[in-house]
């Protein structure tokens, strides 16, 4: 490379550079002065290099010693833990979140097809017998029945049809069952697709009452953590072997995929399903060009699905049976045309609404940089069903904060895994055991009173809280009064049971499927956690 003095162009450039002009050695410099100047320059360079090196070391040290913040998401099944985790991902690792959207397509299809099957079951004339059985149970337990796929406000409405009505029911049921039969077959295929990628760690299909998947092995000592690591790109990496799942795929069972499964990779862009390229062009084909893709079955039936959902007789039948699918997990029946379009790509909201039960523990990590400080965040999302809760304890050891989710709209529902237990009652008991836990006495607790949107809808529809929570008495059945009452109830339990009287409790009314509302709350949670973390590390008094 030519020196600065050898090229007329570089000389011109350096002469026109004011800094170079100032630093240029004086023209009348003596040999001694020159030697001294060079020595001084060498010394200055040494100092500058060592400063640079120190900065580099400091940066590496800072990176290594970034304080870790560990947050645990707790709450019963379907309380919204995984949805909250998705919101954290959307805020902090949006590229990874968006890259996974395609993979959620299969879950959304499954949720949609499942709603169709629920309707077909509900309109079946054979379901009369079940109504009578449900009513008996509900009466004796003073609570209503539901399953995880639908909200059943009350089942004490055994419907007795006259012969003419029964004839209509047979005809309607036969008509829709015949028209929509391929979708019921598709449900099984989708379940297989979601599990087939990982035969050894296949899909869990609990039957909602006696779980088919064995509980996670209890920790061998207090610290063993059967975790799955999800890196910032959303990939899951197993860290502890887990038991094999049963091979059976039970129709209608609630679907969950073990976090070890690579279903997102297999069903997302770049996965096996999309590896084919157009001959010669090297272009990746869209899934809609793959004739085996489930979208081709779905795309044949949007009209039949809409006809079923819009049928006033069907709606009346669902009303009679107090089934409110629109308030259930994974509800897409109002958007059939959009979801079944061949080139459908799930939106952020679609992904947030998708329901896939968690089995095991999922760890999501990201780095939060604020000014010159960085913090490594680890968020643990656990399975909330009763047989999953024994896996929680090892995570209590060094956790900084707990976000506890209580779905307060569930006051008229029972647990999928134990229909004798009211969901609100279960949440309150679970809450009490968490806030009274001595291991957690110095852990910040943030309570999300979740599914406020559904609570509002339910109360607006006239469902009475005092029918399910006797202590509510004659108070007004409006959103303001109910939410305030429940907030006080949870707050009081904390006050009465917390081993640490100094602990401040942060309560938020949330609807974690609502991104705009939840982003603000997440930022607030972040501030609470970081402030408490700094305090603990004695960086502030």
Residue numbering of the annotated binding site for GTP:
352-358, 450-453
| Residue that has been written with the tokens 């550079």 in this structure | 17
Of these, 70, 72, 77, 332, which contacts ligand GTP (CB under 6 A)? Answer: 77
**Does residue 106 touch ligand GTP according to CB under 6 A?**
no
- In the complex with ligand GTP, the residue whose CB is nearer, 253 or 304, is 253
Count of residues that interact with ligand GTP, criterion CB under 6 A = 25
Q: Which conformational region is residue 249 in: left (phi greater than 0), alpha (psi within -120 to 50 degrees), or beta? A: beta
Q: Nearest approach, Cβ of 441 to ligand GTP (angstroms)?
A: 25
Q: Nearest approach, Cβ of 355 to ligand GTP (angstroms)?
A: 3
In the sheet where 227-230 sits, what is the strand order?
Answer: 236-238, 227-230, 361-370, 373-382, 68-74, 401-407, 444-450, 505-509
- Which region, judged by CB under 6 A, interacts with ligand GTP, from 47-55, 95-103, 494-502, 509-517? 509-517
- Which region, judged by CB under 6 A, interacts with ligand GTP, from 44-52, 158-166, 211-219, 506-514? 506-514
- In the complex with ligand GTP, the residue whose CB is nearer, 295 or 454, is 454
**Does residue 131 touch ligand GTP according to CB under 6 A?**
no
- For residues 500 and 241, what is the distance between their CA atoms, to the nearest angstrom? 37
Sign of CA dihedral 110, 422, 482, 445: negative
Q: Nearest approach, Cβ of 485 to ligand GTP (angstroms)?
A: 19
- For residues 359 and 362, what is the distance between their CA atoms, to the nearest angstrom? 9
- Cross-strand pairs, 379: 71, 364
DSSP three-state, residue 371: coil
CB neighbours of residue 6 within 10 Å: 9
- In the complex with ligand GTP, the residue whose CB is nearer, 80 or 304, is 80
Of these, 83, 89, 195, 413, which contacts ligand GTP (CB under 6 A)? Answer: 83
- For residues 118 and 107, what is the distance between their CA atoms, to the nearest angstrom? 16
**Does residue 453 touch ligand GTP according to CB under 6 A?**
yes
DSSP 373-426: EEEEEEEEEE--SGGGGGGTGGGGTT-SEEEEEEEGGGGG-B-SS-TTSBHHHH
Binding site per annotation, positions for Mg(2+): 358
Radius of gyration of the chain (CA): 30
Of these, 383, 406, 413, 414, which contacts ligand GTP (CB under 6 A)? Answer: 383
Residues 276-335 contacting ligand GTP, CB under 6 A: 329-330
Of these, 69, 72, 80, 490, which contacts ligand GTP (CB under 6 A)? Answer: 80
- In the complex with ligand GTP, the residue whose CB is nearer, 257 or 305, is 257
Residues that bind ligand GTP (CB under 6 A): 75, 77-83, 329-330, 352-353, 355, 357-358, 383-385, 450-451, 453-454, 511-513
Residues that bind Mg ion (CB under 5 A): 81-82, 358
């Amino acid at each position: 490379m030519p020196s600065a003095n050898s090229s007329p162009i570089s000389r011109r450039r350096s002469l026109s550079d004011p800094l170079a002009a100032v630093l240029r050695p004086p023209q009348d410099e003596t040999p001694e002065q020159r030697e001294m100047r060079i020595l001084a320059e060498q010394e200055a360079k040494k100092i500058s290099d060592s400063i640079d090196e120190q900065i580099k070391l400091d940066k590496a040290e800072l990176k290594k010693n970034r304080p870790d913040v560990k947050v645990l998401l707790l709450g019963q099944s379907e309380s919204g833990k995984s949805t909250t985790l998705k919101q954290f991902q959307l805020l902090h690792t949006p590229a990874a979140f968006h890259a996974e959207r395609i993979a959620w397509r299969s879950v959304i299809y499954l949720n949609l097809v499942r709603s169709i099957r629920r309707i077909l079951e509900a309109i079946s004339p054979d379901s009369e017998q079940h109504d009578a059985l449900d009513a008996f149970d509900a009466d004796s337990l003073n609570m209503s029945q539901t399953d995880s796929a639908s909200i059943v406000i009350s089942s004490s409405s055994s419907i007795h049809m006259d012969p003419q009505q029964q004839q209509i029911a047979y005809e309607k049921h036969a008509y829709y069952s015949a028209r929509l039969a391929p979708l019921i077959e598709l449900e099984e295929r989708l379940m297989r697709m979601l599990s087939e990628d990982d035969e050894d760690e296949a899909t869990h299909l609990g039957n909602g009452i006696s779980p088919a998947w064995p509980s996670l092995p209890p920790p061998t000592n207090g610290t063993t953590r059967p975790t799955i690591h999800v890196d910032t790109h959303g990939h899951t990496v197993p860290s502890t072997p887990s038991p094999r799942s049963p091979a059976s795929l039970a129709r209608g069972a609630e679907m969950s995929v073990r976090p070890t499964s690579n279903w997102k990779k297999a069903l997302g862009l770049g996965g096996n399903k999309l590896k084919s390229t157009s001959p010669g062009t090297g272009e990746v084909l869209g899934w809609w060009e793959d004739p085996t893709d489930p979208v081709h079955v779905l795309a044949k039936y949007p009209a039949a699905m809409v006809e079923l959902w819009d049928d006033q007789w069907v709606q009346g039948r669902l009303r009679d049976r107090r089934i409110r699918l629109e308030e259930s997990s994974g509800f897409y029946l109002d958007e059939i045309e959009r979801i079944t379009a061949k080139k459908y790509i799930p939106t952020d909201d679609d992904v947030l609404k998708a329901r896939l039960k968690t089995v095991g523990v999922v760890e999501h990590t990201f780095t939060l940089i604020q000014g010159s400080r960085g913090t490594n965040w680890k968020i643990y999302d656990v399975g909330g069903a009763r047989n999953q809760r024994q896996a929680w304890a090892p995570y209590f050891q060094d956790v900084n904060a707990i976000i506890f989710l209580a779905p307060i709209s569930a006051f008229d529902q029972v647990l999928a895994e134990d229909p004798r237990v009211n969901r609100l009652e279960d949440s309150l008991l679970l809450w009490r055991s968490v806030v009274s836990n001595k291991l957690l006495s110095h852990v910040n607790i943030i309570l999300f009173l979740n599914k406020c949107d559904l609570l509002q809808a339910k109360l607006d529809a006239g469902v009475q809280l005092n029918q399910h929570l006797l202590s509510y008495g004659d108070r007004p059945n409006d959103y303001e009064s109910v939410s305030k009452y429940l907030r006080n109830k949870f707050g009081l339990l904390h006050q009465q049971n917390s081993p640490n009287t100094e602990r401040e409790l942060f309560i938020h009314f949330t609807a974690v499927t609502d991104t705009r509302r939840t982003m603000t709350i997440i930022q607030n949670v972040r501030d609470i956690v970081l402030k408490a973390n700094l305090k603990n590390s004695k960086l502030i008094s």
